[in-house]
Chains A and B, each alone.
Chain A
Amino acid sequence: MSNDAPTHRNIPDRLDSPLRAAILSWPALLLVVAVIIFTVNSFASPYFLSPWSLSDATFNFTEKAIIALAMALLIISGEIDLSVAAIIALASTAMGLALQYGADTPALVAIGIGTGLLCGAFNGALVTRLGLPSIVVTIGTMSLFRGLSYIVLGDQAFKGYPASFAFFGQGYVWWVVSFEFVLFLGLAVIYYVLLHRTSFGRRVYVIGNNATAAQFSGVRVERIKFLLFCLTGLMSGIAAVLLTSRLGSTRPSIAQGWELEVITMVVLGGVSILGGSGSIAGVVIAAFIMGLVTFGMGLLNVPGIVQSIFIGLLLILVIALPIVLGRLRRLRK
């Protein structure tokens, strides 16, 4: 979907100073939005500003945000994975199946994460080996993976996960700080380093900006894309472990519609859907924004589907505003 029409770009005489650039950057804008939402929420509901309810708020988004980290890299490289929620369903089903054969907690975790990785590798192989467009491939695997869960489970559910398994989705590391939240922060740091501080990360940007040039510069485009699909699958597997542990059961409809929420998070975080630009900081703040919005509105008894209107508007407004402002500025000149 790139190169739609010839465009012209203005190249500035000199770059903005680093401080000015940081203030005008996307994460800074998002941070302002996050602070506003936080303030509004604390005035709107007396229950918002308690450590325990803030801790509860994190459960709303950590699982999705963990997938969003890997999805950000994938979208920066110019691909997309719509099957992440279906991978959660299949990984969760695999864990439930293993449970029927008496698997213990370590085995369950390994199976959940392993299934995610395998699904990611399957997507990656289809896209890179056969050269297929990822959006269609993952629409297909999305039906396939969730369909497999339906074949196994039908209208049934797996229950009876061991007590020790519950820690991943329900346990606290310290006081109100949940295991899920710590894991998310840890992964965010890892992904920050991977994308912004390693040559691998540079290559991801290069591929997203110009895959042909990257190929001729000696970047192994196919291999890196394959790895990114594997990473996204891996993160979906981890999310499956967390979610299954939190819910304590597996149904084939688990995590339905999450793929769109994950992508909304990534795009809201300033990652260009056309590839080539974006940052982990933006995605992390976007995850907080979405979590705060849903939790704050939940406290005010706003139904989930109405909250989604707000998320949808936020997505379009946050992307449209800079474009409109930029046009106005150019008009004034």
Chain B
Amino acid sequence: MNRLLKVRETWLGLAILALLVAITFRAPGFSTPENLASIFNDTSILLILALGQMVVILTRSIDLSIAANVALSGMVLALINSTWPDVPVPLLIAAAPLLGLAFGAINGFLVWKLDIPSIVVTLGTLTIYRGLTFLIAGGQWVNADEMTPDFIAITRLNLLGLPLLSWFAIATAIAFWVVMTRTPWGRAIYAIGVNPTASVYAGIDVGRTKFLAFCMSGFVAGLCGYLWVSKFVIASSETAIGYELQVIAACVIGGVSIAGGIGTVGSAVLGAIFLGIIGRALPVIGVSPFWQLAISGAAIILAVVLNARSERKTGRIILKQAEGA
């Protein structure tokens, strides 16, 4: 019990519960199982992307191109679907993550082989991927009537009371949990985040591990490319524009440290769910949706302040460092 109280996820989980209770007082219908399931479904894409972003942030990098990757992968799939309606949708779904993985690998390759800081690389590929999304579609949108019914229906397929979209999120979270906690690969990602120098001496290839992290975030971005287009039934060059910051916000609120090495699958999941609840709760309790941006901004700042406190307490730094170093 004592150990549980020291874990940040417990506190975030409690905060989410408190939030739910408070909202339910104002709007009694909010916490019904159906509504909560629907909120979870709406948060699924954010949740999946947050998991990919978390892995990249753990390695002391950042992937600003993740939302542009969603847009580009989604557009490619939507175009294939509208041009060749005979291509079976399961095949498209299987291809989606691989497509995103290819775009993510470009980021990873530049970071790994050329040692260009990830923020610069992904800033560049962010504009390139989004521009390509516009180019390959000739500036057009792909609308609902151009997609096949299957392409749209699959994410809405009901399985054991939840839409398939939610199951995608659950499956991704489980897969990430296994990779991050039960494989040498996951250990390596944490290791290079905590101490890259020591990792090199421990025989970990830092560059290659970063490359793999970018592949993972590309993988989920490609998957979300399909999910996004299928859920919102439109593919355009504006798809998920600016969403990379929401994704980073979900990680930060969950307690993933931007300095690398700190953060779990649970933290990314809870951070995304927190943002999802706030987004749905505001209109219900009668606050204008225009407040949402400012509230998530305040939540990020608050989360960073709290994270910094707890990180300082754990005393990872052995040598006393100068203030501000």
Contact = CB atoms under 8 A, between A and B. Distances in A.
Interface of A: 1, 3-6, 126, 128, 130-133, 135-137, 139-148, 150-151, 153-155, 211-212, 215-216, 221-222, 225, 256-257, 260, 263-264, 267, 273-274, 303, 305-309, 311-313, 315-316, 319-320, 323-324
A148 to B, nearest CB: 5
A154 B124 CA distance: 31
Contact of A6 (B121, B197, B294): B197
Q: Identify whether the interface residues of B are mostly helix, strand, loop, or mixed.
A: helix
A296 to B, nearest CB: 16
A143 B130 contact: no
B60 A4 contact: yes
* Most A CB within 10 A of own CB, among B296, B321, B322: B322
B296 A147 contact: yes
Contact of A3 (B118, B196, B290, B321): B196
Contact of B258 (A128, A135, A216, A313): A135
A133 B259 contact: yes
A151 B114 contact: no
A116 to B, nearest CB: 17
Contacts of A146: 293-294, 297
Interface in B117-148: 117-121, 123-128, 130-132, 134-135, 139
B200 A6 contact: yes
23 contacts: A3-B197, A5-B196, A5-B206, A6-B200, A132-B304, A136-B252, A143-B293, A143-B296, A144-B298, A215-B324, A225-B324, A264-B123, A267-B123, A273-B120, A274-B117, A306-B135, A308-B130, A309-B131, A309-B132, A311-B127, A312-B127, A315-B127, A316-B120
A315 B110 CA distance: 13
Contact of A257 (B125, B242, B294): B242
B287 to A, nearest CB: 10
Given A151-B290, A154-B288, A222 B124 contact: no
Chain B interface: which size bin?
35 or more
Contacts of B321: 212
A148 B294 contact: yes
Contacts of A137: 301, 304
Contact of A140 (B135, B292, B301, B325): B301
Given A139-B300, A312-B123, 14 more contacts: A5-B196, A5-B206, A136-B252, A136-B300, A139-B245, A139-B249, A151-B288, A151-B294, A154-B288, A264-B127, A267-B123, A303-B139, A306-B131, A323-B115
Contacts of B248: 136, 139
B237 interface: yes
Interface of B: 60-62, 64, 110, 114-121, 123-128, 130-132, 134-135, 139, 196-197, 200, 206-207, 237, 242, 245, 248-249, 252, 258-259, 288, 290-298, 300-301, 304-305, 308, 321-325
Contacts of A126: 301, 305
Q: Name the 10 nearest CB pairs between A and B, nearest first.
A: A147-B294, A143-B297, A144-B297, A309-B131, A147-B293, A140-B300, A312-B127, A140-B301, A312-B128, A316-B124
Contacts of B324: 128, 131, 211, 215, 221-222, 225
A215 B321 CA distance: 10
Contact of B252 (A130, A139, A215): A139
B110 A316 contact: yes
Contacts of B119: 1, 135, 273
Contacts of B206: 4-5
Nearest to B246: A143
Contacts of A267: 120, 123
Contacts of A306: 131, 134-135
A149 to B, nearest CB: 9
A212 B197 contact: no
A211 B324 CA distance: 7
A256 to B, nearest CB: 8
B105 to A, nearest CB: 15
Contacts of A5: 196-197, 200, 206-207
A1 B60 contact: yes
Given A4-B196, A144-B298, A323-B114, A312 B125 contact: yes
Contacts of B305: 126, 130, 132
A305 B290 contact: no
Given A1-B119, A147-B296, A150-B294, A215 B301 contact: no
Given A133-B258, A216-B322, A154 B290 contact: yes
Given A141-B301, A263-B123, A315-B120, A309 B135 contact: yes
Given A273-B119, A316-B116, A211 B293 contact: no
A309 B127 CA distance: 6
A161 B324 CA distance: 44
A144 B300 CA distance: 9
